[in-house]
Structure 1
Amino acid sequence: MKILILTNLFPTPWDPLRGAFNRQQFERLGQHHDIDVLTAVDFRERLRGVRGEVSVDSLRTDYFTFFYPPRFGRSLHAMTWLLSLWLQRGRRLRAAGYDCILVSWAYPDAAATGWLARRLRIPYVVKVHGSDLNVQASYPLRRRQIRSALRGAGAVVAVSRALAEKAVAIGAAPDRVHVIYNGVDSDRFAPGSRSEARTRLGLSSEEPLLLYVGNLKSSKGCLDLLEAFPALLATQSQARLIYVGAGPCRDALLERAAALACSDRISLAGAVPHAALGDWFRAADLLCLPSHNEGVPNVILEAMACGIPVVATRVGGIPEVVPDYAGSLVPPQDPAALSAALVEAVAREWDSSRIAAHASGFRWDDNVARLSGILQTAVHPPRVGSAA
């Protein structure tokens, strides 16, 4: 099939590390189909300039600039997203002859794509990730647009059962909603020597290492983790907390660490290419991701694939993929509960082989085969009354 993928979650020259999970999925999907990926780039991000190069095998990639009124009018963003796309790439889209559209992110991307697909007279499939439903659909005007997009879709793909249930509650037809967990690249994420990983990263071989991987923003719980960390230091004085990622909370983390008198035990490593994350996981004693809302974060699957236990919040699809023997779950925005979980987890003996074996069940080949079948069905739906 010839497929158009529309999303804001994909690497671009202005943000080369963005959407690594989509990159892995779409690159594999492109081995079976003829695919164009067209990524929306926020106009403010584009003004900040190019930050790297992006080359993805098996895909043709392009970008358009998403213009919108900042700070207000969020309910109009689907319209401005569509106008931005159509004015910049409309002629090419009309002439391309696509069989279907896969749109990854509910608002504004999917809300706008519903209108685009009707104009092009082709089916579309919506992939939802987490806060695109958990947060955006909590606003009435946006929720109505998301509902319309989900109802008009040939299928809705959710990365967790919790998110699938959310899509149905918003208005998606239950028989069109599919759960497909993300996969793990087993060549990059597998158990290995902790001491060798630490040596390659220039880290101490002795101190207990707590790792956070993700955007440094409050909704990911990075500040909650910092509030919980001193309790671990009280029992493990040489423990170190390393944040891998970038984002708006960086300065707040540094200021709060100074106020908590633990700056010497905190490190901010900055953003790291996805291909380099394996050593960070293997170097860690524990991954912690105390998000306020989620779908299923790939960093949790990847850490477990390296045999590393997880402390995370009981939100979204995380409880679906983290069994008791692979980690501990706590309520969101509860630093006291998080503190207790960290202390217990660092002291506990974990079965790394069992954790890695569990994570090996999340395979990109299975993921892409199912997604390909869903797209095929959207293009060639079964006839009413035909045999199953």
Structure 2
Amino acid sequence: MHVLTLTTNADAPFMTEQMRALERRGVTFSTLSVAGDVDGGTSRSPLEYLKFFPSVLKESGNGYDLIHAHYGLTGPMAVAQWRKPVVLSLWGSDVYGPVEPVSRACAPLCDELVVMSEEMRTYLGRDCAVIPDGIDLEKFQPAPQAEAQEAVGWDSDAHHVLFPYTPEREVKNYPRARRVVNAVNGLFDDPVHLHTVYDVPHDTVPDYMNAADALLLTSHSEGSPNSVKEALACNLPIVAVDVGDVRERLDGVSNSLVADSDEALIGGLREVLESGERSDGRNAAREISVEQTADRLLEVYERVA
């Protein structure tokens, strides 16, 4: 099976790992990405998306079995061609943010719609395949905390809270994370540091997960946050707001919790840091390994092709 992938970010680790797992199952890929650079504070112009249409229309005729469009803004290009069936994967911000109208307009024109959580399916009110992005359990696995802290250069005499996003991404709600950690910092003799980790090689992320004492998620909205699943795989305790599939992922996981108010987040983070214990999240992470999610996505491909 040969698939044309459309994306706004050809380097997205969760997407490329999924594609590698599918390649091991006999699928081959060609990838087209929208031109232009983006970061936490900037986005592409409408002109850059308009320029993407001719490339997709031309490439779609080159013997593919289907087109897999990742993120709602690639949907219009995918459905503009009539030659091949289309699978559209929505990531979360394209459902809960300003891109939502584009995603909703394209959804009924696609042969299959893939979303990251049951919450997204309910919100859209459409028949969807719920397939969260999978985690590479060989890359993300527990390691000695002292060694990981040495690798990333963190002080072993402090508490370390991981916020694996740029503060500029408004949807991640960094001000709330900063507020929570500031409050907790006053409750301990040793300092409590909040680390914003982003734009680092993905292969180094497990070091940060194993070096931290807790992951803090304060997002306004999410689909199925990969940072939570990566933390689970490393047995890193998680304190998170109730967004996306977080509550489902943390169900039954020790030394982790879902909270909504600042008071509950502060109290939960304090308990996690006081315990000094890791979680048992790796058991839960096995349900969303990249191998399992690739099998499910392959079933979608076979249906539409």
Q: Which residue of 1 aligns with 2:149?
A: 198
Whose radius of gyration is greater, 1 or 2? 1
Q: Which residue of 1 aligns with 2:69?
A: 103
- 1:304 matched to 2:220? The reply is no
Q: Which residue of 1 aligns with 2:96?
A: 134
- 1:3 matched to 2:3? The reply is yes
- 1:226 matched to 2:178? The reply is yes
Q: Which residue of 1 aligns with 2:114?
A: 157
Structure 1 residues without counterparts, runs of 5 or longer: 12-18, 49-65, 70-79, 246-270, 380-388
Change (3 A) 1:299 1:319: same
1:131–1:295 Cα contact (<8 Å) kept: yes
2:184–2:266 Cα contact (<8 Å) kept: yes
1:6–1:39 Cα contact (<8 Å) kept: yes
* Alpha-carbon separation, structure 2, partners of 1:348 and 1:241: 18
Match of residue 22, structure 2, among 5, 23, 29: 29
Change (3 A) 1:4 1:311: same
For the residue of structure 1 that corresponds to 2:161, the secondary structure is strand
The letter for the 2-side match of 1:34 is T
Q: Greater relative contact order: 1 or 2 (C-alpha under 8 angstroms, separation 6 or more)?
A: 2
1:282–1:308 Cα contact (<8 Å) kept: yes
Percent of residue pairs bearing the same amino acid type: 23
| Alignment length (residue pairs) | 298
- 1:277 matched to 2:271? The reply is no
Change (3 A) 1:44 1:325: closer
Q: Which residue of 1 aligns with 2:194?
A: 241
Match of residue 46, structure 2, among 65, 68, 71: 68
For the residue of structure 1 that corresponds to 2:113, the secondary structure is strand
Cα drift, residue 129 of structure 1: 1.2
Change (3 A) 1:115 1:127: same
Deviations 1:145-164 (A, max 9, x none): 43332112111111111112
2:56–2:78 Cα contact (<8 Å) kept: no
Cα drift, residue 194 of structure 1: 0.5
Q: Which moved more, 1:83-92 or 1:339-348?
A: 83-92
1:129–1:163 Cα contact (<8 Å) kept: no
Cα drift, residue 38 of structure 1: 0.8
Q: Which moved more, 1:21-30 or 1:36-45?
A: 36-45
The letter for the 2-side match of 1:93 is S
* Alpha-carbon separation, structure 2, partners of 1:193 and 1:44: 35
* Alpha-carbon separation, structure 1, partners of 2:187 and 2:175: 20
2:144–2:210 Cα contact (<8 Å) kept: yes
TM-score (norm 2): 0.90
* Alpha-carbon separation, structure 2, partners of 1:90 and 1:329: 45
The letter for the 1-side match of 2:8 is N
Q: Which residue of 1 aligns with 2:51?
A: 84
Q: Which moved more, 1:200-209 or 1:156-165?
A: 200-209
1:160–1:296 Cα contact (<8 Å) kept: yes
Q: Which residue of 1 aligns with 2:259?
A: 330
1:225–1:338 Cα contact (<8 Å) kept: no
Cα drift, residue 41 of structure 1: 2.5
4+ runs deviating over 6 angstroms = none
TM-score (norm 1): 0.71
